[in-house]
């Protein structure tokens, strides 16, 4: 079985501040991990993903995430928030060797203050 | 690549009416997913298809919900009869072959359904 926990339904930061969105997963086998972003009135779009190899993954718009197996985490970070980063962010996990159907977290709403 | 296309973008209907949501996946994608998004329950997987065949419909809430995929380029989600608690945003997503290596889902912009 696989599951995802996103800590904090809302995260508020000031423009220019560090963004940290937390994601912890549960998987009995090596996982594939994803972050998606959803802007208002749009569908989810891929921000970045980890499958194998380098544990630090870089995505679009300056975001990156690090896979930490020992902590079962895949936290999303960005050094400096921009107003345009305000959106809903979803973490998702696929357990390799299974049905390859992703399980999504509940989402974290990022609020950016000027 | 036109992306996943959903129609209509907005649907307002009265309780008891039939509602049909439509989806055109990206050409060449062999998986198609239907999701429902609400504030209370987040993103819920309703059903998914592989090569036009329904694989898992355990997320379909009731017999009032049905989904079909008559061909590789079209799918429908039907609610009959509709109820106010069905109000939500419904997303269709498709995925290219290669799920074994973690291919991401491509989402449409959703249909916002309001049942009064």
Residues of chain B neighbouring A96 (CB-CB closer than 8 A): 100, 102
**Per-residue pLDDT reduced to its tens digit, B20-66:** 999 999 999 999 999 999 999 999 999 999 999 999 999 998 899 99
Give the C-alpha separation, A98 to A35, whole Å. 20
Spatial contact of A66 and A55, defined as CB atoms under 8 Å apart: yes
Chain A, chain B: beta-carbon pairs less than 8 Å apart: 50
A51 contacts B101? CB cut-off 8 A: yes
In angstroms, the CA A12 to CA A113 distance is 7
Of the ranges A94-98, B42-46, B76-80, which is most confident?
Answer: B76-80
pLDDT computed for residue A30 by the predictor = 80
User: Is any Cβ of chain A less than 8 angstroms from the Cβ of B53?
Assistant: no
B78 versus B62: which is more confidently predicted? B78
pLDDT level of residue B101 (50, 70, 90 thresholds): low
Dihedral angle over CA of B113, A35, B101, B3, nearest 10: 40
Which chain A residue lies closest to B44 (C-alpha atoms)?
A104
Buried b (16+ CB within 10 A) or exposed e, A86-112: bbbbbbbbbbeeeebbbbbbebbebeb
Query: Which residues in chain B are closer than 8 Å to A90, comparing Cβ atoms?
Result: 43
| Strand spans (E) along chain A | 3-7, 10-14, 19-26, 31-38, 44-50, 56-58, 64-68, 73-78, 87-95, 103-104, 108-113
For residue A10, with 0-12 CB atoms within 10 Å meaning exposed, 13-18 middle and 19 or more buried, which class applies?
exposed
> Which carries the bigger pLDDT value, residue B103 or residue A33?
A33
- The token duo for B101 is 């290596």
- DSSP category for residue A55: S
């Amino acid at each position: 079985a696989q599951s995802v926990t996103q800590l904090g339904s809302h995260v508020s930061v000031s423009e220019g501040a560090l963004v940290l969105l937390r994601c912890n997963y549960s998987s009995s086998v090596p996982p594939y991990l994803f972050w998606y972003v959803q802007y208002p009135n749009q569908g989810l779009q891929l921000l970045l993903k980890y499958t194998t190899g380098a544990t630090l993954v870089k995505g679009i718009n300056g975001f990156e995430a690090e896979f930490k197996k020992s902590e079962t985490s895949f936290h999303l970070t960005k050094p400096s928030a921009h107003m345009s980063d305000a959106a809903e962010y979803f973490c998702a996990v696929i357990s390799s060797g299974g049905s390859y159907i992703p399980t999504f977290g509940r989402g974290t709403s990022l609020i950016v203050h000027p | 690549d036109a992306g996943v296309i959903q129609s209509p973008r907005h649907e307002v209907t009265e309780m008891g009416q039939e509602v049909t949501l439509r989806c055109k996946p990206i050409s060449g994608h062999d998986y198609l997913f239907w999701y429902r998004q609400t504030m209370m329950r987040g993103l819920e997987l309703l059903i998914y298809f592989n090569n036009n065949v329904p694989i898992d419909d355990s997320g379909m809430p009731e017999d009032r919900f049905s989904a079909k995929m008559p061909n590789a380029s079209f799918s429908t989600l039907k609610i009959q009869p509709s109820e106010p608690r069905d109000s939500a945003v419904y997303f269709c997503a498709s995925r290219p072959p290669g799920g074994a290596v973690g291919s991401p889902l491509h989402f449409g912009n959703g249909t916002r359904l309001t049942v009064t």
